[in-house]
Structure 1
Amino acid sequence: MTIRSLTRAEAEERAALVRVERYDVSVDFTGLLSGPDVRCVSTVTFTCAEPGAGTFVDCAATVVSATLDGVPLPPPAGGRIALPALAARNVLRVESVQSDTARGPGVHRAVDRSDGEVYVWTSFEPDEARYVWACFDQPDLKAPHAFTVTAPAAWTVTSNAGAARTEPVDGGTRRWKFPDTPPLSPYNTVVNAGPFHEVRRETAGYDLGLYARKSLAPVLEREADEILTLTGQGLGFYADAFAMPFPQRRYDQVFVPEYGGAMENYGCVTWSDDFLSPAEPTPAERELLAKVLLHEMAHMWFGNIVTMRWWDDLWLNEAFAEFACHWAATAATAHTDAWAGHLAVGKLRAYLADQGPTSHPIRQPVRDVAEAASIFDAITYPKGASVLRQLMEYVGEEAFTAGMSRYFARHAWGTTTLRDLTDVLAEASGRDLDAWRAGWLDTAGTDRLTLEKGPDGPVLHATGPGGGAPRPQVLTVGAYHRTSDGGLERTAQATVEVEGPRTPLALPPGADLYLVNDDDLTFATARPDAASRDTLLTQAARLPGALPRGVAVATVWDMLFTGEATAAEAARAVGAVVATETCDAVVEPYLTLAGDITELWAPEEHRAGLTSVLATTCRRIADGAPHPARRRVALRALARTASGDALERLRAETEAGDDRDLRWRVLARTAELGGAAAADAARLLAADPDPEAWVRELCVRAAAPDAEGKADAWRVLVTERAVPVAWVGRVAAAFWRPGQDAVLAPYADRYLELIPDLDRGGMTPAMVYTGRLLPRYTVDDGYLDEALARAVGAAPVVRKTLTEQADVVRRMLRSRSAGVDRP
């Protein structure tokens, strides 16, 4: 059965006709202990503005029975049940079964391989609640939800509204009756269940809960203090910033297996338990956990309490949360360099996406929900976050905070549009934001900022996308001079508001380097003046501060992306920065970036030399690391790049230590280079308590340049889809290795065969499998053309992801063929 996607016109028509009073949803998980079935009864009470009119309710599960005011309804078609001749007030009852709980959307049954325990989670964004029970699955039809869940007696059930009343049921089961939620969109609801390990704590008047599968109980206990501290800090920050405390005393966070990312369900956030690594987290991993926690928490206000009316404003929902998590992290937690981490990871991805073929305005018309699923991307998240940071700079933080407080007070528990937000910010700041909104939100592409040295000082030149007028924006430019010890010292800084193509800067002439966007306040690519190009490429590491160094790295990376710098130049610049970097949270992403440049962008004849240089840098960082976390990060990167004696030394070190994560990485590198690793991997698998250790062992097999290992990895990863979605990228990266063209060649053709069906399993798996499985080697422009041709009839999310990634691979191919600069 083809499941139809809700169009905007249909949603508007239905919202004008229907008001939902409440949902009463009964969920039966008892069949999941030994089978795949989730059984639900959804009772929807709603009114109709035009009695006698008809509409439909969404239900893509198997419908057992459906009645409207006691009258049987015909079978569904296209995931919809027709509702004819509505009364002024109606009661709809739909009994349904969802059996595709292994790979289908909406609900998932996961089995922990380490102990056989079963866990179930739901995740509904953007419109996947309909795959589990009947509902009006659109964001502006908000209503209270009351969940009653029957589950095995040994299980714990979590949902939005906090504590439930429980009662025993015959046959070793229990029933959980949850209070009504506040008015929520269907995609903001959740029910999770399983034999969870639980940690609870009272913090600042809140009842905070953490849950994870039993096999990860030691890790949850180890990390609980930090997670709960961050949770309390975030709740306090947002309560002050929005002048509205989170209105529910209980706030739960549930870490579940085989999940991708995290989801902001009201009062009950669901996480991938990949965030609970048995290995001690690195600084970058700790910062990422903090930012994800604060991102999902920001959605409690922006997304749940106030919800965007339709998916054309989806960007605002996600961009705001991504902006807010960095705002909160720097102001309220120990992660005061969070904006540097944003620049080092998310913003670099956004610059690529915004200059590629899938660039789009941050706000754009969305015809149906299928299109909405295709814009969960780097423009929605990191570019959107950067644009909102620029907005806060443009209106001032005090006015921004006042405007947000007014926004939540005015629209709590309702739905809004972009205009509602910008109107309150304009009121609070006294600034006309029409030009700002048109430039930043309705126009695709990236501004370009360049510098020209003049006799009276430097002049900033700014162009908008396509060479037109620049967007209105506030930014800083720093003037740097060389010091006697060879460093760079900022001797002056100018804050400017760009209002046209040419802006004189109040900076003295004669600086050795003028750094455009010095504090990274705006979203624009920058270029140094011609005389400063070499200084930027060779002296970026000497800039005094994580943000200026990050801006330099971003500039060099963009120059590589556009063909204005070679891979060797970029690798040297990033390698030099990471060798001297003092901000722990960006060391790991910079090492990853340097590894990507040498592995994916460098010409084949230069790859070995650049890799050797990077390996030497990693060893120096590890041996001189000021603390174990920095050493661990450097050794991880060394495990990706080492060969010969350096790899043997690292292998001997890891075998004598207890860092199992590093041992797995070293074994994968050993296997990639054709060394014997299978026996050691089997022994490590038997000794490793990590429930996902089997995936790490699969990475070792996937990396080996032999037909048997590749075939086995492809079967598990692609044919069976047995790898948790959070691990797909790592297994795929181990599978597609440079220098293994002969053994990999058949799989490039197999990827082409997958394209039409890559959307199965929902939005997140579709993006992950489409992007991560695309070959980076053994391909040429003709292959990419063929892949895009096969994607013409695929789901929008597949087509969009493939188009974006194919463009990046084309740029890699051009960089590899340049070969003009020796390492």
Structure 2
Amino acid sequence: MSPVASPVASPVASPVASLTRAEAEERAALIEVDRYDVEVDLRGLFEGQVVDAVSTITFTCREPGASSFVDCVAQIRSATLNGVALDVSTASRGRLPLPDLQADNVLVVASSQSDTTSSSGIQRTVDPSDKLVYVWMSFECDFTRMVWANFDQPDLKAVHGFTVKAPDTWTVLNNSAPTGVDELADGGRLWTFADTPPLSTYVTVVNAGPFYERRSHRGGYDLGLYSRQSLKQLLDRDADELFEITEQGLAWYGEHFGVPFGQERYDQVFLPDLGGAMENWGCVTWGDWALPRSEPTYEERRYVADVVLHEMAHMWFGDLVTMKWWDDLWLNEAFASWAACWASVGATKYQDNWANFLAGEQLAAYRLDMGPASHPIRGDVPDVAQAMANFDAISYSKGQAVLKQLGAYVGEDALLEGLRAYFRDHAWGNTTLEDFVGAVATASGRDLGEWQRSWLDEGGTDTLTLSGSELTATGPDGKAPRPHRVDIGCYVDEGSSLSKVADVAVQTVGGSTQVELPESDLRLVNDGDLTFAAARTDPVSLDLLLRKAGLLPDAVSRSLAVSTVYDMLLKGELGAEETLACILGVLETEHVAGIVEPFLQIASTVAHRYMPLPRIESARSRVADVAAVLAGQPELAKGALLELAGNAVTPEHFARVDSAASSDFGLAWRVAATRAAQGDYDEAVIEDLLERDPDPDAPFSALAVRTARPLAEAKEEAWHALYVEQNVPSGLAMYPMVQAFWQPEQRDVVLPYTWRYLEEVPKLAGGLMLKVGGLIRGMFPDVGDQVFIDAALEMARADGCDPTVRGALLNGTDGLVRKLRARGDLPAG
């Protein structure tokens, strides 16, 4: 039962100041940084928790005699400004005052940081299988200050020179190539690295550990791959494809952007307990979730290739040219996502990426944009804390879709010409959105002022509705609609096929646009997915779409059909049964590998999360039946078997997946969790898997299986690991835990944890986004009632609520309400 009183926790005040835009502008107007010389001592991390650093900053001041501050959250041991000692006791909330600046200044700050296991800028991880220690750093948005003193804002770019002391068994990696490795008299080795080009502080990096290394010279570049030793067999398995995608991407971007990548060396480092990947110049840091523990599915390989290209695109958009302030964060991320999809289709074997994007990331953007957590793509970012909250599907995926619409609006040739001018004119500098839009406007000869305002400064999603010969555009919340360059696909039903008779190009004008369409049976609005909008067609076309979407001849069209019916489900326009029937109908004839797994995952989500509780089992069984058929196709087999394992209900389902799971640990863990959720838990089976599975994170796979059981003690064990110990690694281990924990069929067992979630999330505010994303956003409850929803909204609206927490609560409650309404547990609203 839910308590009567709402346990709304008080906002937790951060002990560290969040840099405001006004402060950043004032500091950038006052000083200019010439260079950083950073000495890092990692030897204390070999057996302990402390990293030491000495940061020497050479900078000028435009107003001699003025004061400013340097950012440093680490413990400051000593500091001198122009040779004069500073009083380190004046440091407060991560800032050390700098009085009486001269025209030319040298600041030296020695610091120590012992918080090296919370993923706050730096993470020390001990591999449980062999006890070897690995260290990664990840600094976006302002976590460089956790490790050494700096001016932690993107528009104070400077050359960086690094020297690193490390244990003698470790390899140290940096943005640039090492120029020397020397023995130290007091133990360990000193690594010296070449100067970087002018970089923002957040894209610098130091990674270290006893890495396993693979290198390859390709396309004029020296490419490196690194992993922990316990995963070297996985890196060997995937190295050829990783090298191939990297070579293809560097060549594609260098040619099409008109600027080759700026140094010979390009490293990618796969490390434990990192939830995503980070675009450090020349040295991309990944979570080693990107090395799947069993033979990867097509979708897993495609996704890794997409991330390779996303992070690589940042070498140009983000590193070479950097936003002046975080209100243009979306342009960094949206551009990298758009470029990755574009390069994937143009340069690699993953040529169905646009269809995949629509069925995956873009659906998440539509979902977020329809609720109270929606915000403009280019939102107001008064401080860095708000910037952290904007790392979401709107900044990434909606932004990507809008850049695709821009390409349709002005033409891809004009877009690329504008990009080349942008990189040429602003190399190693900082820009604003107006610089980017201005370059494209000049190249296209079009005034993009209204396009920019309506697409980037207004939140929400337009709806395009076809009725007869009229295409109606409706803006969100009564606002005027945006301009849309859109295609309407016209198809004739020939019984066993849908044949396209025309693609009608339309440029919408205001709220109503007249269109001339040929005679046809199905009219598909936004065919080709050129714009970001909810597409609705006429009733006759919709009826045919629901019955025969799988016969559409193009993968993007089929993806559009699936995304449309799913959007209608979320908005209460279509029931879960009709939605599932349409998606499974498409899957019965689907053959394109790039969309089979996303479609199966959507079908599983509908069956597990939106179906009324009494019908979940039969819905899952239908998904499993279709997955079993798809598993007969070799390229689709692994992904289909995973969905079969997650949805298995009948003895036949389990028999089919058990035979495959005997040699596939990932599959074996998945089917064990499904059995456990149904009350069939065998400790001996789990112990046997633990003994045989070489994955160093296998104990967390076992924990996910135990978590799936419909028992209070199972949920309590999981909760302790997630929120008390916080020892569940981000990425591969976190997702199965979330799925196992919140299961609608186990509502009575997990309902008390909805309230405990509200107690925990304020404590997580201010942490590294790649770490807390799972614990704040991912773990939002999939069960609840109106009392819980009201309490979550009250917390979100409270003064002082952290922006990341607020966004997660608003989006989470909106999503929960939509699920509960679809299940019939809440009245339609």
TM range (shorter): over 0.9
Q: 2:320 aligns with which of 302, 305, 310?
A: 305
Percent identity of equivalent pairs: 49
Are 1:470 and 2:485 matched, yes or no? Answer: no
State the 1:760 CA deviation.
5.4
State the 1:820 CA deviation.
12
Whether the aligned pair in 2 keeps the contact of 1:199 and 1:209 (CA below 8 Å) is: yes
User: Match of 1:739, as an amino acid?
Assistant: E
Whether the aligned pair in 2 keeps the contact of 1:755 and 1:790 (CA below 8 Å) is: no
TM-score (norm 1): 0.96
Cα distance in 2 for partners of 1:337, 1:459 equals 31
Q: 1:729 aligns with which of 726, 731, 735?
A: 735
Q: 1:8 aligns with which of 13, 21, 24?
A: 21
Whether the aligned pair in 2 keeps the contact of 1:201 and 1:207 (CA below 8 Å) is: yes
State the 1:588 CA deviation.
1.1
Partner of 1:480: 491
**2:619 match: secondary structure:** helix
Partner of 1:441: 456
Partner of 1:576: 585
Partner of 1:500: 510
Which aligned pairs between 1:481-630 and structure 2 lie closer than 5 A? 481-484=492-495, 486-509=496-519, 511-622=520-631, 625-627=632-634, 629-630=635-636
Q: Specify which structure has the bigger relative contact order, considering alpha-carbon pairs within 8 angstroms and separated by 6 or more residues.
A: 2
Q: 1:389 aligns with which of 404, 415, 423?
A: 404
State the 1:318 CA deviation.
0.7
State the 1:564 CA deviation.
0.2
State the 1:468 CA deviation.
4.0
Cα distance in 1 for partners of 2:619, 2:25 equals 56
Partner of 1:185: 200
Whether the aligned pair in 2 keeps the contact of 1:670 and 1:677 (CA below 8 Å) is: no
Deviation digits for residues 93-144 of structure 1 (CA, Å, limit 9, x no counterpart): 1111110111151100011111110000000000000011000000000000
Deviation digits for residues 305-340 of structure 1 (CA, Å, limit 9, x no counterpart): 100000111111111111110011111111111101
Partner of 2:3: none
Cα distance in 1 for partners of 2:791, 2:427 equals 49
Whether the aligned pair in 1 keeps the contact of 2:644 and 2:657 (CA below 8 Å) is: no
User: Match of 1:755, as an amino acid?
Assistant: V
Q: 1:740 aligns with which of 746, 756, 763?
A: 746
State the 1:473 CA deviation.
2.3
Tell me the C-alpha RMSD between the 2 structures. Answer: 1.6
State the 1:758 CA deviation.
2.1
User: Match of 1:599, as an amino acid?
Assistant: H
Q: 2:38 aligns with which of 25, 36, 39?
A: 25
User: Match of 2:718, as an amino acid?
Assistant: A
State the 1:236 CA deviation.
0.6
Are 1:116 and 2:131 matched, yes or no? Answer: yes
State the 1:805 CA deviation.
1.3
Are 1:806 and 2:821 matched, yes or no? Answer: no
User: Match of 1:21, as an amino acid?
Assistant: D
Which aligned pairs between 1:583-732 and structure 2 lie closer than 5 A? 583-622=592-631, 625-627=632-634, 629-650=635-656, 652-654=658-660, 657-726=662-731, 727-732=733-738
Cα distance in 1 for partners of 2:454, 2:581 equals 36
Cα distance in 1 for partners of 2:735, 2:765 equals 16
Whether the aligned pair in 2 keeps the contact of 1:677 and 1:700 (CA below 8 Å) is: no
State the 1:794 CA deviation.
3.3
Q: 1:262 aligns with which of 270, 274, 277?
A: 277
Are 1:759 and 2:765 matched, yes or no? Answer: yes
Cα distance in 1 for partners of 2:616, 2:74 equals 51
Cα distance in 2 for partners of 1:561, 1:718 equals 30
User: Match of 1:403, as an amino acid?
Assistant: G
State the 1:747 CA deviation.
2.0
Deviation digits for residues 583-612 of structure 1 (CA, Å, limit 9, x no counterpart): 102111111111111111111122222122
Are 1:288 and 2:293 matched, yes or no? Answer: no
User: Match of 1:10, as an amino acid?
Assistant: E
Moved more, 375-384 or 633-642: 633-642
User: Match of 1:414, as an amino acid?
Assistant: G
Cα distance in 2 for partners of 1:579, 1:67 equals 70
Q: 2:431 aligns with which of 416, 425, 429?
A: 416
Moved more, 240-249 or 790-799: 790-799
**1:47 match: secondary structure:** strand
Cα distance in 1 for partners of 2:275, 2:583 equals 30
State the 1:773 CA deviation.
1.8
State the 1:413 CA deviation.
0.4
Deviation digits for residues 281-306 of structure 1 (CA, Å, limit 9, x no counterpart): 11111111111111100100100010
Whether the aligned pair in 1 keeps the contact of 2:33 and 2:60 (CA below 8 Å) is: yes
Cα distance in 2 for partners of 1:646, 1:65 equals 69
Q: 2:368 aligns with which of 353, 363, 381?
A: 353
Partner of 1:771: 777
State the 1:819 CA deviation.
11
Which contiguous aligned blocks of 4+ residues in structure 1 show a shift greater than 4 angstroms?
818-821
Cα distance in 1 for partners of 2:220, 2:65 equals 49
Cα distance in 2 for partners of 1:239, 1:805 equals 40
Whether the aligned pair in 2 keeps the contact of 1:528 and 1:536 (CA below 8 Å) is: no
**2:818 match: secondary structure:** helix
Specify whether residues 339 and 663 from structure 1 end up closer, same or farther in structure 2 by C-alpha distance, changes over 3 A only: same
- Unpaired runs of at least 5, structure 1: none
User: Match of 1:615, as an amino acid?
Assistant: A
Cα distance in 1 for partners of 2:776, 2:630 equals 35
Which aligned pairs between 1:226-245 and structure 2 lie closer than 5 A? 226-245=241-260
Partner of 1:247: 262
Whether the aligned pair in 2 keeps the contact of 1:59 and 1:134 (CA below 8 Å) is: yes
State the 1:651 CA deviation.
5.5
Cα distance in 2 for partners of 1:406, 1:436 equals 20
**2:385 match: secondary structure:** helix
Whether the aligned pair in 2 keeps the contact of 1:759 and 1:765 (CA below 8 Å) is: no
Are 1:795 and 2:802 matched, yes or no? Answer: yes
Partner of 1:78: 93
Deviation digits for residues 755-804 of structure 1 (CA, Å, limit 9, x no counterpart): 22022532232332112222212x11210221232343432111111211
Cα distance in 1 for partners of 2:755, 2:735 equals 19
Whether the aligned pair in 2 keeps the contact of 1:767 and 1:798 (CA below 8 Å) is: no
TM-score (norm 2): 0.96
Cα distance in 1 for partners of 2:826, 2:738 equals 27
Partner of 1:209: 224
State the 1:180 CA deviation.
0.8
Specify whether residues 651 and 490 from structure 1 end up closer, same or farther in structure 2 by C-alpha distance, changes over 3 A only: closer
Cα distance in 1 for partners of 2:152, 2:214 equals 33
User: Match of 2:669, as an amino acid?
Assistant: W
Moved more, 629-638 or 318-327: 629-638
Cα distance in 2 for partners of 1:135, 1:260 equals 25
State the 1:19 CA deviation.
0.4
User: Match of 1:88, as an amino acid?
Assistant: A
Moved more, 789-798 or 156-165: 789-798
Whether the aligned pair in 2 keeps the contact of 1:8 and 1:366 (CA below 8 Å) is: yes
Whether the aligned pair in 1 keeps the contact of 2:321 and 2:427 (CA below 8 Å) is: yes
User: Match of 1:593, as an amino acid?
Assistant: I
Whether the aligned pair in 2 keeps the contact of 1:141 and 1:185 (CA below 8 Å) is: yes
Cα distance in 1 for partners of 2:741, 2:498 equals 42
User: Match of 2:389, as an amino acid?
Assistant: S
Deviation digits for residues 369-399 of structure 1 (CA, Å, limit 9, x no counterpart): 0011001111100000000011111111111
Whether the aligned pair in 1 keeps the contact of 2:58 and 2:106 (CA below 8 Å) is: yes
Cα distance in 2 for partners of 1:648, 1:287 equals 28
Whether the aligned pair in 1 keeps the contact of 2:59 and 2:105 (CA below 8 Å) is: yes
